[in-house]
Amino acid sequence: MDVALYPADCSEALASALTVAGFEPKPVEDLGDIEPTLAEHWGVLVVELGDEPLRRLRQITHLSEASGVPVLAAVERDHLALVEHTDGIDDLIVGTPDPAELRVRIHRLLRHSAEEEVLIYEDLVLDTRTYQATLDGRLIDLTYMEYELLRFFVANRGRVWTREQLLSKVWGYDYFGGSRTVDVHVRRLRAKLGEERDWITTVRSVGYRFG
């Protein structure tokens, strides 16, 4: 997979260090334009905070929620206090980028991302490469959207999601169905997981939480 680089006009030091490290970074002009397809094409996104650290940190937080692609931030030491309280940064490099350090950190993120192709929660195993789901070692029959919803829940367990958020993130921004679609799929998932596995919790007047 390719390494994406944002902003496109990043410092020459970072671009050069990535090249020396053995990568061919793909410059990104606008993060908003590539969110829907980011995970399909790029294994790691490298973001240089530069002279707009707050704006880019907000973009990183939004991007991580939308795509799940690992983010490596290139930061100055003065920005460490800001980075400490930002969600979505998986690793960082401080100061002048070193090619050897970049290579190690990016390869670690790529390896970690590959390991997440199999999601496990208690006795549930989801293999995202084959779209198979097993429960206590037995295959369970899921439709495509049931699988996608369950995968999203497992990958984002512990957080409460509204029906509208689930429609957007699982079905897509261009889906015109109503929130009842989510309720129907949750009901089917609960039935297939079994009554003894009360993993999907209804949060009254809000939505659903997994785990």
Is it the case that residue 183 has pLDDT exceeding 60?
yes
Starting at the edge strand that comes first in sequence, how are the strands of the sheet with 91-94 ordered? 26-27, 2-6, 42-48, 71-75, 91-94
Tens of pLDDT, residues 190-207: 999 998 999 999 999 899
pTM for the full model?
A: 0.54
- Helix/strand/coil (H, E, C) string of 120-170? EECCEEEECCCCEEEECCEECCCCHHHHHHHHHHHHCCCCEEEHHHHHHHH
Least confident span in 9-23, 66-80, 188-202: 66-80
Question: Would you state the pLDDT for residue 29?
Answer: 82
Is it the case that residue 63 has pLDDT exceeding 80?
no
Question: Would you state the pLDDT for residue 85?
Answer: 75
- Structure tokens given for 13: 């030091």
Q: Report in angstroms the alpha-carbon separations of 143 from 18, 36, 63, 114, 130.
A: 41, 22, 27, 24, 13
Residues of the chain with pLDDT > 70: what percent?
Answer: 87
Identify which has the larger pLDDT, 177 or 7.
7
Question: Would you state the pLDDT for residue 177?
Answer: 63
Q: Which domains are present in the chain?
A: 2-115 (3.40.50.2300), 118-210 (1.10.10.10)
